[in-house]
Structure 1
């Protein structure tokens, strides 16, 4: 048997331990590869919504990749711990440090290459379904056909091969620092039950209380959010390291319960496991919380209200031209010719308006279009406007402000002017595609010298939802500007806004679901690796207990209870933290996502139960093989 055959046999011999790592890595590679196939698809590159999808999927790809770095590093290091005795034996038998390094690198590269190959094969098989679901969710008109994704294959192999190799080499640094005696000792830890600290437990409870008070009492900004994250992460750590141990410690004081059945064994083991695995349980909790919050928010249908507001806007195209705009005639001719050549019969209304800078909201000072009551009724005679006194106005919000219910001042101050307008009424429905302030004729005349004079050209035409392709080309030619106070022109398209608003939330949900599934798969894998890392030590303990009378049924009961708490305690903490976050979002009227989030948590609970059932079955089977009760 040569050296490379030895590496292959080592992988096969440890296949059960490697299996979880292999499948998790393959899954991450597969999702990365399918996103890459979508990004490089020729049809996606040729459409506007496809380019939006490309941007989102590129971000998701690299999130998965960065997470994979951490995941692979943790997983491979966990495997190395389980094989310390094996390394010690090899060193005693004369293997050199260089040969040991080569052996481990070869083994890890076998698993890595296998994960990449199976991930690419699996992604290719599922590509058609992935394309169909993706195109449906973002309402792409052209179907996404299969193609030969050389770029996607090259990118996937190009980023994951170095990842497996580099991490293999990094782990060798930890091995070189170990002595042979430490290798032979293996991963055994001397465990000693300790009383949890009252001070640290109180500190952990205080951190959670402080974070909750900050969320409710302090306006959120970047600094506050970062501070909150640090406080919550610290609180999670102290919860698993100290607070969660208290019920087990108090249980020991109750002899009637503690000395009954397998309670003594389970309680002692759990207290030690919670302390030993504090960092792991904290990581799993954070990952699960991020998954719950993200999915819960994106599962909330936020677009329906905005879509309705967009549909109710009067004009399909609004073109605002500030006085002195040299491109006005060119742009108007371009809009007209585009609609005519595409077979859309349009009507045009031209209105004299002014532009003013007024109140400040979360994005800065807000430009508002100002129109006189007479001018509005001249072009829209059927529209009802309440009677307005001097210096009074009716404010029509754009659909974004209407949806987010931004606070509107009772009095609007024109910047660089002493003139003010009292807001008599705020209309939550949209009139134009932008914010519009309607004042009476006298007020408009008084304000005219302080307003930037402009003209609004409103185009209406039937079947506007069918004009997306033409509008995309038009906006590219007009070189659309962001709405501003000092732009010479600005163009709004109801068609473009409608499709972006209706499709982008679906796109975000589609992308996020895959990323979240990868995260949750990895969270379950972390726990899988942890319990199998301690498998040999646990089997030795149960062998000794079996000799003194512990039955197989009692062993299974103790193991199941310990696994259940390790799996579901982080899930419970993550669920509670997620609900707290949803309450905060609801308080700030950002999202009412409590209902969808509870459904999301219930869905993940089903997946968690499935994962727990599989891991429990594998764990108990392997443990019983190692204990081999029939041989006693």
Structure 2
């Protein structure tokens, strides 16, 4: 057996230890390849469907940025995992040095092992990505709302870039592994597993600080969203405080809590609690940084994907303009307007859609206040299902024209109780009785005041220029109007003059959906990679302590530890390792989604729940497999 075969056999003998490292590496290679597959797709490079060049540019840019994120994060993940494996095998390396292997040969053996795993991960990752390339393109076309789909092509450029990039990455990791092994003397390597661990300690003040930082961070995020103080520093400060609090939560508060439970003698000496809590104190201290990383990474994945799904919700488009069609024209274009509006009615009737119409012609006072006629305003609000309003001669209602104004009215209410209108060298004081919190008038900006018909007529009579009229069609099932919209646009443009007068809510949503599809693919795949790496961190830490756990349970079994008690102890510890970081990540995510809910009018609960159920399902499967393998190993040891 030559030296190279010796290195290969080392990898094969340690396959249980290396399996998570190998699968995670292959998965990151596959995801990197998927981004290349999409970024270099001819149809995406030339523009997604009938969307704009800007959307195409954003798509390609998003895929490239995501590739960089996955690549950089893969480097640090692989570096961490290699360090964990070196720690596990220190005693083995010490024995090899005693038997006559030189440091240079040991470094060479590690280099070959890491390159073997890396090359195998590249082959498996690329092979898997290529095997499922057609399915990935079909799903991506659906997510990005590409009408004609994304046809399959042979992604030679993506294959080459992925293979070269990860070959360099694994070459760097293999080189770093030699540097990591230089630390420590021969004696330290041999006795690495026998070195006693110091008693875990925690400061009660730092434990309290952890809670204070997290609560303060949550408060800043809520101030940002509920009060809508859109300050980047406020939001960034809240996130930083939560991250800092999470670090102290695991490094200090968790250990302090375990020590507190240890001092509660009736609880501590109940059945297997003595073993469980004593072991958890050390595990919490040893794995504190890992728990912190897993929590932050998982929270980022949950929040990123959930937010992206919310962005693609049709409710977001309806927030800005609730009408399926908005047609605007000036008085001199009334003839064409009537013809185009009749086309809309005919096609909606032909397709069987129920709809309600309304129209409004704002007028401007001499001092710049936009006024709306009460009768026209009631047509608009009644078309949406709201009750009609009544006003006195000198009364008015503030109505928002944008989401920002609507949220401002919702939070602050009336900004002033009286407004003065100038028209025709006269002034009228109007009592503002309330501010509405929904959008009724489309495509409007600035202060809008609903007044009585007679007061409106007085303002309109003094106008020098005619105002634009907005005619609206409220369609409850507007998400299904895609085909009707295309027919309407084609009929209006038959004369060769493109209609800039008609705005379609469906087309606006479709454009947002395409942009969101890109974001969803980018954030979704990055989130899944992050979550996979986070789960692998737990696996690495578990097998880092495997030799010590085997020795410990072997000794305890001699004094009467049963299989059932062992299963109880191990299950409790693994539940803590697998699900405590996820629970903290869930709490962070819930706070983020509560804040997001304050910014939108539609419910995002469904998106939030779906994301969590998906990742929780993956984590449960991973937990059950790991627990099964771990218990089988322990059962064999205590026999």
Normalised-by-shorter TM-score class = 0.7 to 0.9
- Equivalent positions of 1:384-463 (< 5 A) are 397-398=401-402, 410=415, 428-429=438-439, 432-433=442-443, 435=445, 440=456, 443=459
Give the structure 1 partner of residue 60 of structure 2.
54
1:4 matched to 2:4: yes
Match of 2:585 among 562, 574, 582: 574
Match of 1:93 among 93, 99, 114: 99
Deviation at 1:169, TM superposition (A): 1.8
Of 586-595 and 274-283, more deviation after overlay is shown by: 586-595
**Matches of 1:93 and 1:430, distance apart in 2:** 84
SS at match of 1:224: helix
**Residues 513-547 of structure 1: CA deviation (Å, up to 9, x unaligned):** 33222222211111001100111122122222233
Gaps of 5+ in 2: 331-339, 341-358, 421-426, 474-480
Does the CA-based 8 Å contact 1:204-1:235 persist in structure 2? Answer: yes
Give the structure 1 partner of residue 17 of structure 2.
17
1:114 matched to 2:109: no
Does the CA-based 8 Å contact 2:399-2:437 persist in structure 1? Answer: yes
Are residues 128 and 616 of structure 1, via their aligned partners in 2, closer, same or farther at CA, if it must alter by over 3 Å? same
Are residues 502 and 184 of structure 1, via their aligned partners in 2, closer, same or farther at CA, if it must alter by over 3 Å? same
Are residues 587 and 312 of structure 1, via their aligned partners in 2, closer, same or farther at CA, if it must alter by over 3 Å? closer
Give the structure 1 partner of residue 27 of structure 2.
27
Match of 1:533 among 544, 567, 576: 544
Are residues 590 and 455 of structure 1, via their aligned partners in 2, closer, same or farther at CA, if it must alter by over 3 Å? closer
Deviation at 1:303, TM superposition (A): 2.2
Deviation at 1:117, TM superposition (A): 1.2
Does the CA-based 8 Å contact 1:464-1:495 persist in structure 2? Answer: no
Does the CA-based 8 Å contact 2:218-2:242 persist in structure 1? Answer: no
**Matches of 2:82 and 2:19, distance apart in 1:** 12
For the aligned residue pairs, the C-alpha RMSD in angstroms reads: 4.7
**Matches of 1:395 and 1:304, distance apart in 2:** 20
Give the structure 1 partner of residue 282 of structure 2.
272
Are residues 578 and 88 of structure 1, via their aligned partners in 2, closer, same or farther at CA, if it must alter by over 3 Å? same
Does the CA-based 8 Å contact 2:317-2:505 persist in structure 1? Answer: no
SS at match of 1:242: helix
Deviation at 1:616, TM superposition (A): 0.9
1:562 matched to 2:568: no
- Equivalent positions of 1:236-247 (< 5 A) are 236-247=246-257
**Matches of 2:70 and 2:365, distance apart in 1:** 46
**Matches of 2:404 and 2:485, distance apart in 1:** 20
Deviation at 1:423, TM superposition (A): 7.7
1:42 matched to 2:52: no
Does the CA-based 8 Å contact 1:310-1:497 persist in structure 2? Answer: no
Match of 1:252 among 245, 254, 262: 262
When the two structures are superposed, what TM-score results if normalisation uses the length of structure 2?
A: 0.75
Deviation at 1:502, TM superposition (A): 3.9
1:186 matched to 2:192: yes
- Equivalent positions of 1:191-210 (< 5 A) are 191-194=197-200, 196-210=202-216
Does the CA-based 8 Å contact 1:305-1:403 persist in structure 2? Answer: no
Give the structure 1 partner of residue 108 of structure 2.
102
Match of 2:596 among 575, 585, 593: 585
- Equivalent positions of 1:544-623 (< 5 A) are 544-587=555-598, 592-594=603-605, 596-623=607-634
**Residues 424-452 of structure 1: CA deviation (Å, up to 9, x unaligned):** 8769446554548589466468786xxxx
SS at match of 2:147: coil
Deviation at 1:286, TM superposition (A): 1.1
**Matches of 1:511 and 1:308, distance apart in 2:** 25
Give the structure 2 partner of residue 485 of structure 1.
none
Are residues 582 and 372 of structure 1, via their aligned partners in 2, closer, same or farther at CA, if it must alter by over 3 Å? closer
Match of 1:68 among 71, 74, 88: 74
Deviation at 1:217, TM superposition (A): 4.8
Gaps of 5+ in 1: 321-335, 337-348, 359-367, 479-488
- Equivalent positions of 1:156-167 (< 5 A) are 156-167=162-173
**Matches of 2:120 and 2:168, distance apart in 1:** 14
**Matches of 1:230 and 1:357, distance apart in 2:** 46
Deviation at 1:395, TM superposition (A): 5.4
1:289 matched to 2:295: no
Does the CA-based 8 Å contact 1:29-1:120 persist in structure 2? Answer: yes
Are residues 591 and 85 of structure 1, via their aligned partners in 2, closer, same or farther at CA, if it must alter by over 3 Å? farther
**Matches of 1:421 and 1:182, distance apart in 2:** 86
Are residues 55 and 619 of structure 1, via their aligned partners in 2, closer, same or farther at CA, if it must alter by over 3 Å? same
**Matches of 1:538 and 1:551, distance apart in 2:** 16
Does the CA-based 8 Å contact 2:318-2:505 persist in structure 1? Answer: no
Of 63-72 and 22-31, more deviation after overlay is shown by: 63-72
SS at match of 1:312: coil
